[in-house]
Amino acid sequence: MKPAPVGYLRPTSLEEACRALADDPDAKVLAGGQSLVPLLSMRLAAPSTLVDINALPGLDGVEVDEAGVRVGALVRHADLLAHDGAARVQPLLRMALSHVAHAPIRNRGTTVGSLVHADAAAEMPAVLALLGGTVEVVSARGTRTVAGADLVVGPLESSLAHDEVATSAWFPALADGQGVGFAEISRRQGDYALCGVAALVRRAAGRVVEARAAYLAVDETPTVVDLLPALDGDPDGDPDEARLAAAADLALASLSPAGDIHATEQYRAHLARVLTVRVLREADDHARRRGQ
């Protein structure tokens, strides 16, 4: 199908973009177009005007310091994936981005666009929520910071107002003693996941003192679950098989896996269980290799 007729604006300043969005409640931001354009073509979205943000200055940078990684709204998945500084400070970015779509889509699609698109099956909203990252948002009314955990409020629904432009996302660095893991199952490499899990474990004095996991493609929004209660109390500081299985039980109690044409509810629950054990082990190994 072809899109319905749609207007097109290519502002050259953020102020101009914000004004265009404020003046027209049916206008929509266009970033990489890798999600929006298919929706237009299938006529599942019919905005009055596309406000193309690709000519806005200053939004295409990745800034890395010891506190974290700031990703501008025009940074493509492929650029962030290839960024060695970002991978050093927060390895989960590269782990997860390597599962985002196929190379041509990563060359054009933006990481911030993926966050705002709010697909529960996307990798990066789950990563942002797990790490406690944030999104910087600008409108004619001013600037605000949205916590990753508050960004996705429903299927393909973010907490941004129609007139807001996300200008960057910030992912915290891996702290001392922390390790991360990521795994997903999809029908083919690059497809959306049937189920994916990202985990963060922190070890201190030979024990696990922080453990949580974020789930994608399981619930209607990315879900972060605190798994420390299941891993805590091991005298050797070692998450053994029984504790890892208890962590998976704890996770499942907080999730509501849905069935669809790709996977039944039971299969998704099974994947969530298996992947929880796998990524917790990976994150724990990573934390040990980093010195705890």
Smallest gap from residue 30 Cβ to ligand FAD (A): 5
Question: Strands 165-172 and 157-158: what pairing?
Answer: unpaired
Between the alpha carbon of residue 214 and those of residues 44, 86, 121, 127, 184, the distances in Å are: 28, 20, 12, 7, 11
Smallest gap from residue 165 Cβ to ligand FAD (A): 4
Q: Which is nearest to 13 in space by CA: 53, 40, 69?
A: 53
Geometric angle at alpha carbon 105, from 24 and 198, rounded to 5°: 95
Binding site for ligand FAD (CB under 6 A): 28-36, 38, 53, 73, 100-101, 105, 109-110, 112-114, 116-117, 122-124, 160, 165-166, 192
Smallest gap from residue 53 Cβ to ligand FAD (A): 6
Q: Which position's Cβ is nearest ligand FAD?
A: 109
Residue number, 211 or 263, with CB nearest to ligand FAD:
263
Q: Please, what's the b/e burial string for 104-130 (b: 16 or more CB within 10 A of its CB; e: otherwise)?
A: ebbebbbbbbbbbbbbbbbbbbbbbbb
Q: How far apart are CA 212 and CA 177, in angstroms?
A: 14
Residue number, 112 or 224, with CB nearest to ligand FAD:
112
Q: In this structure, what token pair is assigned to residue 139? A: 């409108």
Smallest gap from residue 96 Cβ to ligand FAD (A): 9
Residue number, 135 or 230, with CB nearest to ligand FAD:
135
Residue number, 28 or 286, with CB nearest to ligand FAD:
28
Smallest gap from residue 149 Cβ to ligand FAD (A): 18
Residue number, 114 or 292, with CB nearest to ligand FAD:
114
